[in-house]
Structure 1
Amino acid sequence: MSAADDGRSLGQLVAAATAEMSALVHDEIALAKAELRQDVKRGVLGSGAALIAGVFLLFALPVLSFAAAYGIHNLGLGLAWSFLIVGGAFIALALLLLLLALAKFKKVSRSKSPQKSVASAKQTAAVLSHAKPHPRAAGDGGEEHPQLQGVTRSSV
């Protein structure tokens, strides 16, 4: 089918194609926004579910602590000693995790890689800021650099 069969001129066809492309781009942007909203909604719901799960775990900790203490008490130990053992186990676990965290923090502070990268970037910037193009002779271009006598400049 040609432009003559449709009764529209070439200019009208180009205008129609441009309008349709514009509408297509706007529709694609609207689709991307809708997908982004849906992803954000899913993320918020997932975060809320994880937060509620964390609260339930926090509520379960005292209950499980009491269960452990009473379980130790049923083995024949006094109730006070049972609770002391459970509390001591929590303190020992907390201290172990604290030592692990301190070891990780020390590795982070001793790490020189970001500082090396920054220093390298500064050095590169300093070299580039002092870099100047080589001067070329106005004549035949070979007086200053004898190794470039046979080289010609392209017109690209």
Structure 2
Amino acid sequence: MSSPDTGLPPAPERESLGELVGELAQDLSRLMRQELELAKAELREEAKKAGKATGMLAGAGFAGYMTAVLLSLAAVFALGAVLPLGWAALIVAAVWGVTAFVLYHSGRAQLRGVAPKPERTVESLQEDAAWARHPTK
């Protein structure tokens, strides 16, 4: 079907607008599925890293706990050289009790300052919703 007056080759058959939109929707859907699969793979990899790091931190916590116990025993026996062993153990226990009391009250005070609701995110979502209702404002 060449046009005799223009001399141009015949135009290829054009797809209808509906077919183009359908292909675009399929391509977009495929792209979204691929992006989701990539995100899942990345999250799995990061979760493995976080799991290993958490295990190491738990091991470090246990080692620190054991260190505190053994140092406490050493302190009891060191004080036991000067005082009766019962009094030495009581003194070390009292030091740990005071430490626990101070840490408890300090942690409790800091916990009161924690906001359970993510204020900035809620505010941002409200702004987005307002914009979606009236995008020209």
TM-score by length of 2: 0.51
Identical aligned pairs, as a percentage? 25
Verify: 1:48 aligned to 2:55, yes or no: yes
Aligned length: 102
Q: Give the CA deviation at 1:8.
A: 6.1
Letter in 2 for 1:28: E
Runs of 5+ unmatched residues, structure 1: 115-156
**Closer/same/farther in 2, CA of residues 94 and 21 from structure 1, 3 Å limit:** closer
**Closer/same/farther in 2, CA of residues 78 and 41 from structure 1, 3 Å limit:** same
Q: In structure 2, what is the Cα distance between the partners aligned to 1:8 and 1:41?
A: 53
Contact in 2 for aligned 1:70/1:79 (Cα 8 Å): no
2:95 is matched with 89
Contact in 2 for aligned 1:72/1:82 (Cα 8 Å): yes
Verify: 1:77 aligned to 2:88, yes or no: no
Given candidates 11, 21, 37, the residue that maps to 2:15 is 11
Name segments (4+ residues, structure 1) moved above 6 Å. Answer: none
Contact in 2 for aligned 1:69/1:79 (Cα 8 Å): no
Residue-by-residue CA offset, 1:27-81 (whole Å, 9 max, x unaligned): 11211111121222222222222222222222222111122233445xx613514
User: Larger radius of gyration, structure 1 or 2?
Assistant: 1
Letter in 2 for 1:43: A
TM-score by length of 1: 0.47
Runs of 5+ unmatched residues, structure 2: 1-8, 117-137
